[in-house]
Structure 1
Amino acid sequence: MLKIKIGGKEFTKPFISARTLRNVMKILADSEGKELSTLEQFDQSVEIITAVFDHQFTADDLLDNFPSNQFTNLVETVMNEVMGGDGKKQITEK
């Protein structure tokens, strides 16, 4: 289960379904072979996170309310879970 706190609200993803994995793979495949700028990579990460959490929050919610110093950890945690993690992660604001 993934949990994330954004702006004082908690969002949960009970498990990573095969559909979620496919959606993430599609987002990544759309940029395959392209040289993405750092900003484009960042935006792609935001797109993946919102997709993994089934758009329970918007990209703007994430960008405006999640601490920047925790963003890299968030991306790593979400991607690890999508690619077969143990399914017991909580990402919180510090």
Structure 2
Amino acid sequence: MIITKIRTLVANYSDLPVRSGYSVKMNDEEIALFKVTNGTVYAIENRSPHPKGGVLTEGLVSGEYVFCPVYDWKIALRDGKVQAPDEGQIKTYQVEVKDDNVYIII
């Protein structure tokens, strides 16, 4: 079985703010893009795993982590894992940056 991955243009790299969230909608999913200080772009589900949720593009970014704006959970942008003592995980997406284009690969 051959699995074909789809590459979708979602933003211009130069338009992404550093250390702030940028929301895009793809299929029926809301995805948060974060450009960290070293220039790496991460894409994660734009909702905290806490039962009451929280829009992660409204959270604070520190290094390669975003803090849920509702419950201050620390979430790794690299793998979507909530850091101890809290627990949980959110979906992450593969990102490709080429020239000034940011793609999500699904």
Q: Which protein has the larger Cα radius of gyration, Structure 1 or Structure 2?
A: 2
Q: Normalised by the size of structure 2, how large is the TM-score?
A: 0.26
Please identify which structure carries the higher strand content.
2
- If asked which structure has higher relative contact order (CA below 8 Å, sep 6+), I would say 1
Please identify which structure carries the higher helix content.
1
Q: Normalised by the size of structure 1, how large is the TM-score?
A: 0.28
